[in-house]
Chain A
Amino acid sequence: MPPLLEVDDLHMHFFTRDGVVKAVDGVSFTLEHGQTLGVVGESGSGKSVTALSIMRLIPEPPGKVVKGDIRFKGESILAMSEREQRGLRGNRIAMIFQDPMTSLNPVHRVGRQIAEPLRLHKDMDRKAAWAAAVELLAEVGIPQARERARGYPHEFSGGMRQRAMIAMALACGPDILIADEPTTALDVTIQAQILELMQEIQQRTKSAIILITHDLGVVADMADNILVMYGGKAVEFGAADDVFYRPLHPYTWGLLESLPRHDVDDKGALSPIKGQPPSLINLPPGCSFAPRCAYATRSCGDEQAGLVEMEPGHFSSCRFAGDAGFLAQFENRSSYLSDYAQRDSQ
């Protein structure tokens, strides 16, 4: 059985007047039913572009998939006609966006926007679609769904708008839900509600979720697997526990290290990653993280192999990740691991 979604060495570049922006420069992962993949990265890492590429929402030109493939249930999405792709969008693969303020159309009633995918893909008539929309609103926890469906987006709060977006995405019962920073613009207590809702929905429908975020806490909460991206490239992929407790890439180490500690009373200085995120037009040759990497050597400037499986199911793009001596450097410094190791040994 082919995986539900397979992204295979995707390279999506933008050809602009200022040069070629290598927004996604080698990303691979697989996703199965009922799984949540957390895609973690900072601004410019290419995580959003990856998601938009899966949805085929990147305008071409200026974008272009220069290499690689995306397969949904074994079939290549890139090879599909525009019509077939539209048939997937909102139907089998749905997306929710970051800013709930702007991703709902302000001049249409909310109920109608939720009904839209139903009318498009399921051929429902207006009445049936509206009724289904009201039900969906209730399912995502909006009280008095019947009245609220008649409302306009500006009458909804941020959290409620995001719920409405989720309802819209779920309308056709998609196999995959892609959520691009769904809670970044929301308050922490509302974020908790939305994440809980997403988990609950996943339990019920067994859909897969691709959750894109820069927040490592959210990812720890939600993800089964994690894909770490930097400078347009995938640098690490594996189960959540593996990535957090036995990271195999200096960037992942750096990120985890730089977070303000929540389990250490002594508040010493943080250990940030030095330097700035790279420009996607002038990416250095070889490993894109090398300029900031505390462990980089000369060979890091050579052509890199991409993600390589270092342990079963755990991939890294760092050429030293297979070397136990190299990994020990991080293990000694991190208190995450000392906890985990202690727990293990008990």
Chain B
Amino acid sequence: MTSLLRVDGLTKHFPVSHGVFSSRLGGSVKAVDGISFAIGRGETLGLVGESGCGKSTTGRCINRLHEPSSGSIEFDGTDVRRLRGRRLKAFRRDVQFIFQDPYASLNPRMTFGEIMAEPLVIHGIGSRRERQEQAKDMLKTVGLNPEHIHRYPHEFSGGQRQRVGIARALMLRPKMIICDEPVSALDVSIQAQIINLLEELQEEFGLTYLFIAHDLAVVRHICDRVAVMYLGKIVELGGWREVYNAPHHPYTQSLLSAVPVPDPEKQRQRARIILRGDVPSPVDPPSGCRFHTRCPIAQFPICREQEPPLEGKTGGQMAACHFAKPFPIPEDRMLGGE
């Protein structure tokens, strides 16, 4: 499987600025601090982590909503960072974005029809009538009534608006879609609808997904491979089965054990790793391994002094830890399979 997207050493630092005339003082928020991964054609890669880990920023750097500070991004053989003008615009046809908030991601003053036709208008595709037809078709495809093209977002629920957001992303027939927490703002009973929709669409349109989320159960369901981020770095990367059943990195293990499972019996029997303390600030991340301040297996001085590289461990898994071992979590304790 050839890689559709290849990211190498991506960093994004946001300067912290003060001053009357916006002069730069102070440090920077190291939102993404050197990550590398690849996504194959037709694959779904999950990017998980807690707030401040940099997953959303990563997504936005890939389609250049944010300009990366350094590193390389290669999409379908093209150097994304070098793109300008017309070629950048053409790139935008290939890589689309689905946003988290169905209330904020649609312009409240545009009808559904206008919202969906906009990508076509921007790229000069089709006549007015053709665009309307396509918008209607796409509404149908995502399970909405095509007559709704004349209606406004505020008349609809979150789930329906999110469908329109998805429809909009598909209008240009992209190769890849970056989904930034696409179901987090939705009710549980609607989440399942949208997840199914995303999977069907992936099949129908041959899409590749970068799926950014914090809900581990959802990620497990929809993703082929999973990358776990912590404070701007990828700490674990591998196939979903391996990451969920036999995670190597202690953060992954803690994360998995912290997620409550909707099964009272299993919950009672699980032994949990409860991490102490708060997530450190991305302005001033810990030295060495960033996780060492909360890690249950940290050993000093090495963990405080040397940052572990993300490298292959057993079974093709990659983890960034000096002491990573596969910890197959016992049946009654894990989020994974039985």
A and B directly contacting (CB within 8 A): yes
Which A residues are within 8 Å of any B CB, using their own CB?
Answer: 42-43, 157, 159-160, 187-193, 195-196, 214-221, 223, 240-241, 244-245, 254-256, 258-265, 267, 269-274, 276-277, 336, 340, 343
Query: Within the complex, what minimum Cβ distance (angstroms) separates B212 from chain A?
Result: 15
| Chain A residues, Cβ within 8 Å of B278 | 157, 159-160, 190
Q: Pick the contact of B261: A157, A220, A270 (CB < 8 A).
A: A220
Q: Pick the contact of B192: A159, A219, A272 (CB < 8 A).
A: A272
List 10 other contacts, CB 8 Å, given A189-B279, A277-B187. Answer: A187-B214, A189-B255, A189-B274, A241-B264, A244-B263, A259-B188, A259-B262, A270-B192, A270-B221, A273-B193
Question: Please, what's the 1-or-0 string for B170-196, where 1 marks a CB less than 8 Å from any CB in chain A?
Answer: 000000000000000001111111011
Known: A42-B188, A189-B275. A272 touches B262 (CB 8 A): no
Known: A192-B272, A217-B259. A244 touches B189 (CB 8 A): no
**B238 CB–A CB distance under 8 Å:** no
Residue of B nearest to A244 (CB): B264
Within 256-274 of B, Cβ neighbours of A (below 8 Å) are at 257-267, 272, 274
**Count of interface residues, chain B, beta-carbon cutoff 8 Å:** 47
Is B189 within 8 A of A258, CB to CB? yes
- What's the dominant secondary structure at chain B's contact region? helix
Within 146-189 of B, Cβ neighbours of A (below 8 Å) are at 157, 159-160, 187-189
**B199 CB–A CB distance under 8 Å:** yes
| Chain B residues, Cβ within 8 Å of A221 | 260, 264, 267
Q: Pick the contact of A270: B157, B160, B196, B214 (CB < 8 A).
A: B196
Interface CB pairs A-B, < 8 A, 22: A188-B259, A189-B254, A190-B278, A190-B279, A192-B257, A196-B272, A214-B187, A217-B260, A220-B263, A223-B264, A240-B264, A259-B217, A262-B217, A262-B263, A264-B337, A267-B222, A270-B196, A270-B221, A272-B189, A272-B191, A273-B189, A276-B157
| Chain A residues, Cβ within 8 Å of B214 | 187-188
Query: Within the complex, what minimum Cβ distance (angstroms) separates A100 from chain B?
Result: 12
| Chain B residues, Cβ within 8 Å of A244 | 262-264
Is A276 within 8 A of B160, CB to CB? yes
**B98 CB–A CB distance under 8 Å:** no
Is A187 within 8 A of B50, CB to CB? yes
| Chain B residues, Cβ within 8 Å of A258 | 188-189, 191-192
Q: With A and B bound together, what is the CA distance between A259 and B279 in angstroms?
A: 28
Q: With A and B bound together, what is the CA distance between A221 and B270 in angstroms?
A: 10
Q: With A and B bound together, what is the CA distance between A343 and B254 in angstroms?
A: 28
Known: A241-B264, A262-B220, A276-B160. A191 touches B188 (CB 8 A): no
Q: Pick the contact of B50: A189, A265, A269 (CB < 8 A).
A: A189
Is A42 within 8 A of B217, CB to CB? no
Is B195 within 8 A of A43, CB to CB? no
Is B192 within 8 A of A273, CB to CB? yes
Is B187 within 8 A of A340, CB to CB? no
| Chain B residues, Cβ within 8 Å of A193 | 274-276
Is A216 within 8 A of B258, CB to CB? no
Query: Within the complex, what minimum Cβ distance (angstroms) separates B51 from chain A?
Result: 6
Within 270-300 of B, Cβ neighbours of A (below 8 Å) are at 272, 274-276, 278-279
| Chain A residues, Cβ within 8 Å of B187 | 42-43, 214, 277
| Chain B residues, Cβ within 8 Å of A265 | 241, 337
| Chain B residues, Cβ within 8 Å of A240 | 264
Q: With A and B bound together, what is the CA distance between A125 and B336 in angstroms?
A: 54
Select the residue from A217, A241, A255 with max chain B CB neighbours within 10 A.
A217
Q: With A and B bound together, what is the CA distance between A270 and B183 in angstroms?
A: 14
| Chain A residues, Cβ within 8 Å of B188 | 42, 214, 216, 255, 258-259
**B338 CB–A CB distance under 8 Å:** yes
Q: Pick the contact of A272: B160, B193, B218 (CB < 8 A).
A: B193
Question: Please, what's the 1-or-0 string for B85-102, where 1 marks a CB less than 8 Å from any CB in chain A?
Answer: 000000000000000000
Known: A196-B274, A270-B196, A340-B265. A187 touches B190 (CB 8 A): no
Query: Within the complex, what minimum Cβ distance (angstroms) separates B275 from chain A?
Result: 5
Q: With A and B bound together, what is the CA distance between A295 and B199 in angstroms?
A: 26
| Chain B residues, Cβ within 8 Å of A192 | 257-258, 260, 272, 274-275
Query: Within the complex, what minimum Cβ distance (angstroms) separates A137 from chain B?
Result: 15
| Chain A residues, Cβ within 8 Å of B255 | 188-189
Known: A259-B192, A272-B196. A189 touches B262 (CB 8 A): no
**B38 CB–A CB distance under 8 Å:** no
Residue of A nearest to B51 (CB): A187
Residue of A nearest to B272 (CB): A192
Is B275 within 8 A of A255, CB to CB? no
**B335 CB–A CB distance under 8 Å:** yes
Query: Within the complex, what minimum Cβ distance (angstroms) separates B280 from chain A?
Result: 10
Known: A192-B272, A260-B217. A336 touches B263 (CB 8 A): yes
